[in-house]
Chain A
Amino acid sequence: MLNIVLVCSAGMSTSLLVSKMNKVAKEKGLDVNVIAIAEADVKNNMDKVDVMLLGPQVRYLLPKMREMMEVKGVPVDIVDTVSYGTMDGEKVLEQALSMVKDK
């Protein structure tokens, strides 16, 4: 099971994207679980994370998150703006998977 975490500012904008990603993963038969959390809740959700993606509006968190997560071997990046803006579940899922592969 691969745990993908999407971070945005107040959990407002990512939930739709998350559900789309989960749907795509299911269709493809991938053992993936995507969740969305708000910036403030990251601290409490650090255990079950394999990949972390940041919404473009919280891109300022990148250095901090990288520092925090990469020691655990968790890759962190920003969601591709266009994929994010168009809420393209498939593309974002691809991005997440590629981050794991690259590792």
Chain B
Amino acid sequence: MGRIDEVLELLTQLEKEKQEGVSAADIAFILGIDRSNVSRYLNILYKKGKVEKVNGRPVLYKSIKGYISSVCDEEDPYIGFNNSLDKLVGARQSLAIPIQKAKAAILYPPKGLHTLLLGETGVGKSMFAKLMYQFAIESKVVVENAPFIRFNCADYVDNPNLLTAQIFGVKKGAYTGADRDRDGLLKKADKGFIFLDEIHRLPPQGQEMLFTYIDNGFFRPLGDAENLIRVDVRIIAATTEDPKSHLLKTFTRRIPMIITLPPIRDRSLSERYSLIETFIREESHRLGMSIYINKNSIISYLLYDCPNNIGQLKSDIQLACAKAFLRYKSEQDDYLVINQGDLPNHVRKGILNINQYRKEIEELLNSTYDVFKFDQHERPPLSLKEDENISGDFYTAIEERLESLKEAGMDEQAINEIMNIDIESHFRKYIGHIYRRFDRRGISNVVNEDILQVAEEILLLAQKHLGKEFDEKIYFGLSFHLERSIERIRRGEKIYNPKLNFIRINYEEEFLFAVKIAKLLDNKFNIETPVDEIGYLAMFFTTDSNNKFIERKPKVGVIVAMHGRSTASSMVEVANSLIGVEHAVALDMPLSMKPKNMYELTKNKVLEIDEGKGVIMMVDMGSLTNFGDMIWEETGIEVRTIEKVSTPMVIEVLRKVILGYELDEVVNSFVGKVSIKDEVSKPMRDENVIITACFTGDGASKKLESIIRSNLDGENLEIVPINIIDEERLEKRIDRLANKYNVMAIVATVDIDIDYIPFVTAMDILQGDGIEKLKKIIEQENIYSKIGESLQEHITNLDGKEITRDIKYLIRSIEKGLGLEVVSDAKIGIVLHIAFLIDNLLNGVLPRRFDNLEAYSNLYAKEMGIIRRCILLMEKKYGISVEDDELAYILKLFLLNQKLV
């Protein structure tokens, strides 16, 4: 009985007197263990709904009735591991599924399920059957002294009548030699179990009788037509036959629960080690002395070919122990040591396989010792016992272990030695280093054939769709997983995946693929795969998921700042929880708050969250729109502002940020979309504007304004003087003007480098040909506007004026990028070329191939790159994708039409 059960039992006793409840200290005092440990146990019990809490100081606990009877059949990682089945070596590993099935067979209401055990010779079927019986007693399904009758059908193989009579009983004279009425074993097993080994030896007549009993709950003894015998017996049948064999099909059809026990080659090395250890310890106990064994011998036992499984392993170990014991006696050694010479020949060969498993062996036997000691005093067998505490509290397990060793009267050195192995093994289990090794044949014993097929199908699909290779490990893993998850879904148990949103975002492709796979599974197995499970499936397709999940790359920061008490908070809450992160930060600005205070708050937040990737500020309106640029200037941290923000926008930005987009990628993709909306909502103005700029926006720019106005009198244009130095960046303000008006040129006292707008220096205006330049610009602008009007009439997909202006800007930025100027006549042609190109793309017209595209793009690789970059904005804005052929045509037009300087 585990500590936790002790605690509970004591609690139920104590509360008979203390009706108000029992405190942890009470229990700790009586059990003589630490109060904090007791508290921990009580909390576990509380979480399991086994006890209730009475709040106060100290907290009191009361049991919740009905617990005691169910303690044993709990499938809980913390408690309930005291039943016979869970003590088996490999209970949490390769026997996990068999044990789970066995428990289900025993507990299935009302009377459990008859069970067929499959497995090769020596895998432990008899023992497993016996343990199922034990488990039935422990879970109070049968009474303590219920019968367990074992019968090997092979024993009477020469005499089918006798065999059948043994099981079902016989009426006198039923066959020659049946000289009296006799009860069968089935009747003797009433209210208990009958274990029928080698069931495939049962003759057809016996099979029929057995099935009658399975189907109806009664049978007739051999030769008896009158008496129906009703019994309540659970049958556990076993066979080494291949489950696919014809003979066995009749059984697999009629017996509802089929449990396959894996052969030893399919069990992990750590499990095999545990088996070896168990057997040596058993011998040690039998001999009444410690047994030492050298490391190489252990390795041989771990790696030799052992076709008759656990049974063979056990006898091979017994053999070596016997030999070593003999030597110990005859040579009067001080110790009983097993070395290589004691091992049977075929076992010794095991060490030859070391190269294949070196790493695992080293992990498993990671110790400096060359000789291992197995001590007779320790009972139950020490260390490396099954993963008892794998999900429990590691340190508690260690403490308890230490305690029990001390109680056993061991000296300090021995304890240290053992603890060394213990801690090591616990950690190993925690880290979960050791993969199970299965070959194809092996795995088919553990996982259903149809699931294996589906797993293979899925991985083939995955390779095709995701373009990845998957190794056998994934195949096995997926098969195991499917087996369990499908069962789980069928049982209607909830599946929870805490990583779901993370997976959905970071492994979008894999997730979408998993959705398809889920459909496939749904149809095939007639289930409904929940989305959490889809997340798990997706994880299988992200081969290097293990590493990526931990790694965290710096990301762009996101601040949502809004007027109002909680607007920002609620937006951020929605976005964060939808994306499944805590990345976006909210800053609420109540109307009473002064902008200055808000600014400080915002600035500090930017400083706090910036990871070197810049910060996106998403704001609604007013003073908040300027904060970003101000903070940028003041702190040097790149801040971009997106205005008039809505919740969907926050989600979109956050999604991109989490995906690892760079600052500009996020903002650009966004600004494009927004500006389309803006322009649809507010009709574009045709006003032509020339911007004049000086530092203050007052002196020189006003002067320039009047000079230009007087020289260009009669032209249809506005002149807008602005200041260069402002809280808001100049580029941004010019962008805004350019969005509203047709900005033809900028005239300024300092160089202003805006890609898409021609620039004239103030000096030129005052002393040179600046006015002439402006006139030419205006002339060209007029042609542009005519083109725009004309396009307006001819193109249906696009707003002629808008596209003309966009292309004009595009041409400017390409010129800038290529460092050339195109003769103005050619520009008109280029405008039309690009306008029709976009129109054609929108109409789905295929592009014309460019002759020798490859050679051309190699020759002008850099220039092609520039064109591609410049055209990106158009692609985004118009939702098109421009191919290399078209880029090459465009590049050619620029290169061949450049002005010769």
Residue B787 lies at the interface, judged by CB distance under 8 Å to chain A: yes
Residues of A within 8 Å of B847, CB to CB, are 10
A9 x B832 contact (CB < 8 A): no
Selecting from A24-32, A67-75, A82-90, A95-103, the interface stretch reads: A82-90
Residues of B within 8 Å of A58, CB to CB, are 829, 893, 896
Residue A3 lies at the interface, judged by CB distance under 8 Å to chain B: no
B828 x A85 contact (CB < 8 A): yes
- Residue pairs across A and B with Cβ atoms less than 8 A apart, 14 shown, are A12-B832, A12-B889, A13-B836, A56-B826, A56-B828, A56-B829, A57-B830, A57-B893, A58-B896, A60-B896, A85-B786, A85-B829, A86-B786, A86-B789
A84 x B829 contact (CB < 8 A): yes
Which residue of the partner chain A has the closest CB to B894?
Answer: A57
Bound together, the chains give a CA A9 to CA B850 distance in angstroms of 10
In the complex, chain B residues 810-855 whose Cβ is within 8 Å of any chain A Cβ: 823-826, 828-833, 835-837, 840, 847-848, 850-851
Residue A46 lies at the interface, judged by CB distance under 8 Å to chain B: no
Residue A76 lies at the interface, judged by CB distance under 8 Å to chain B: no
B825 x A81 contact (CB < 8 A): yes
Bound together, the chains give a CA A97 to CA B824 distance in angstroms of 25
B833 x A86 contact (CB < 8 A): no
Which of the residues A13, A38, A59, A88 comes within 8 Å of B826, measured between beta carbons? A59
A13 x B835 contact (CB < 8 A): yes
Residue B367 lies at the interface, judged by CB distance under 8 Å to chain A: no
Which of the residues A59, A78, A84, A88 comes within 8 Å of B832, measured between beta carbons? A84
A13 x B833 contact (CB < 8 A): yes
Given contacts A60-B896, A82-B783, A86-B787, contact A10 B828 (CB under 8 A): no
Residue B346 lies at the interface, judged by CB distance under 8 Å to chain A: no
Which of the residues B783, B794, B836 comes within 8 Å of A81, measured between beta carbons? B783
Residue B892 lies at the interface, judged by CB distance under 8 Å to chain A: yes
Which residue of the partner chain B has the closest CB to A16?
Answer: B794
Residues of A within 8 Å of B829, CB to CB, are 8, 13, 55-59, 81, 84-85
B897 x A9 contact (CB < 8 A): no
Bound together, the chains give a CA A57 to CA B783 distance in angstroms of 15
Which of the residues A11, A78, A85 comes within 8 Å of B790, measured between beta carbons? A85
B833 x A12 contact (CB < 8 A): yes
Residues of B within 8 Å of A15, CB to CB, are 836
B787 x A60 contact (CB < 8 A): no
Bound together, the chains give a CA A60 to CA B836 distance in angstroms of 21
Residues of A within 8 Å of B848, CB to CB, are 10-12, 38
Bound together, the chains give a CA A38 to CA B850 distance in angstroms of 11
Shortest beta-carbon distance, A63 to chain B, in Å? 12
Residues of A within 8 Å of B840, CB to CB, are 12
Specify the main secondary structure of chain B where it touches its partner.
helix
B826 x A40 contact (CB < 8 A): no
Instruction: Please give the residue numbers on chain B whose beta carbons come within 8 Å of chain A beta carbons, in ascending order.
Output: 783-784, 786-787, 789-790, 794, 823-826, 828-833, 835-837, 840, 847-848, 850-851, 886, 889, 892-893, 896-897
Given contacts A56-B825, A82-B786, A86-B786, contact A12 B851 (CB under 8 A): no
Residues of B within 8 Å of A11, CB to CB, are 848
Render A20-53 as a binary contact track against B, CB cut-off 8 A, 1 for contact: 0000000000000000001010000000000000
Which of the residues A8, A60, A85 comes within 8 Å of B831, measured between beta carbons? A85
A86 x B790 contact (CB < 8 A): yes
In addition to A12-B832, A85-B829, 13 A-B residue pairs with Cβ atoms within 8 Å of each other are A8-B833, A9-B893, A11-B848, A38-B848, A55-B833, A57-B826, A60-B896, A81-B783, A85-B786, A86-B786, A86-B789, A86-B790, A87-B832
Shortest beta-carbon distance, B825 to chain A, in Å? 4
A78 x B836 contact (CB < 8 A): no
Residues of B within 8 Å of A78, CB to CB, are 825
Which of the residues A16, A56, A84 comes within 8 Å of B836, measured between beta carbons? A16
Shortest beta-carbon distance, B833 to chain A, in Å? 5
Shortest beta-carbon distance, B104 to chain A, in Å? 71
Which of the residues A9, A16, A60, A82 comes within 8 Å of B889, measured between beta carbons? A9
Bound together, the chains give a CA A53 to CA B542 distance in angstroms of 59
Shortest beta-carbon distance, A43 to chain B, in Å? 11
Query: Which among B826, B832, B886, B897 has the greatest number of chain A C-beta atoms within 10 A?
Result: B832
A10 x B832 contact (CB < 8 A): no
Residues of B within 8 Å of A59, CB to CB, are 823, 825-826, 829, 897
A10 x B833 contact (CB < 8 A): yes
**Which 10 pairs of residues, A with B, have the shortest CB-CB distance?**
A57-B829, A56-B829, A13-B832, A85-B828, A60-B896, A86-B790, A85-B787, A81-B825, A56-B825, A12-B836
Residues of B within 8 Å of A8, CB to CB, are 829, 833
Residues of B within 8 Å of A57, CB to CB, are 826, 828-830, 832-833, 893, 897
Shortest beta-carbon distance, A49 to chain B, in Å? 20
Residues of B within 8 Å of A82, CB to CB, are 783, 786, 828
Bound together, the chains give a CA A47 to CA B835 distance in angstroms of 31
Shortest beta-carbon distance, A98 to chain B, in Å? 19
Bound together, the chains give a CA A57 to CA B807 distance in angstroms of 14
Shortest beta-carbon distance, B56 to chain A, in Å? 84
Bound together, the chains give a CA A35 to CA B201 distance in angstroms of 92
Bound together, the chains give a CA A88 to CA B835 distance in angstroms of 16
Bound together, the chains give a CA A78 to CA B833 distance in angstroms of 16
Bound together, the chains give a CA A60 to CA B896 distance in angstroms of 6
A40 x B851 contact (CB < 8 A): yes
Residues of A within 8 Å of B789, CB to CB, are 86
Residues of B within 8 Å of A9, CB to CB, are 833, 889, 892-893
Shortest beta-carbon distance, B844 to chain A, in Å? 15
Shortest beta-carbon distance, A100 to chain B, in Å? 23
Residues of A within 8 Å of B787, CB to CB, are 85-86
Shortest beta-carbon distance, A94 to chain B, in Å? 17
Bound together, the chains give a CA A15 to CA B892 distance in angstroms of 20
Bound together, the chains give a CA A8 to CA B897 distance in angstroms of 13
Bound together, the chains give a CA A15 to CA B828 distance in angstroms of 16
Shortest beta-carbon distance, A21 to chain B, in Å? 14
Which residue of the partner chain B has the closest CB to A88?
Answer: B790
Residues of A within 8 Å of B794, CB to CB, are 16, 87
Bound together, the chains give a CA A16 to CA B831 distance in angstroms of 14
Residues of A within 8 Å of B851, CB to CB, are 40
Which residue of the partner chain A has the closest CB to B782?
Answer: A82
Residues of A within 8 Å of B892, CB to CB, are 9
Bound together, the chains give a CA A81 to CA B847 distance in angstroms of 25
Bound together, the chains give a CA A75 to CA B836 distance in angstroms of 27
Residues of B within 8 Å of A55, CB to CB, are 829, 832-833
Which of the residues B783, B837, B886, B896 comes within 8 Å of A85, measured between beta carbons? B783
Shortest beta-carbon distance, B329 to chain A, in Å? 100
Given contacts A57-B829, A60-B897, contact A87 B889 (CB under 8 A): no
Residues of A within 8 Å of B784, CB to CB, are 85
Residues of A within 8 Å of B896, CB to CB, are 58, 60
Residues of B within 8 Å of A84, CB to CB, are 828-829, 832
Which residue of the partner chain A has the closest CB to B888?
Answer: A10
Shortest beta-carbon distance, A40 to chain B, in Å? 6
Which residue of the partner chain B has the closest CB to A87?
Answer: B790
Residues of A within 8 Å of B850, CB to CB, are 10
Shortest beta-carbon distance, A2 to chain B, in Å? 24
Residues of B within 8 Å of A88, CB to CB, are 790
Residues of A within 8 Å of B790, CB to CB, are 85-88
Shortest beta-carbon distance, A12 to chain B, in Å? 5
Residues of A within 8 Å of B830, CB to CB, are 57
Bound together, the chains give a CA A40 to CA B892 distance in angstroms of 13
Bound together, the chains give a CA A85 to CA B831 distance in angstroms of 8
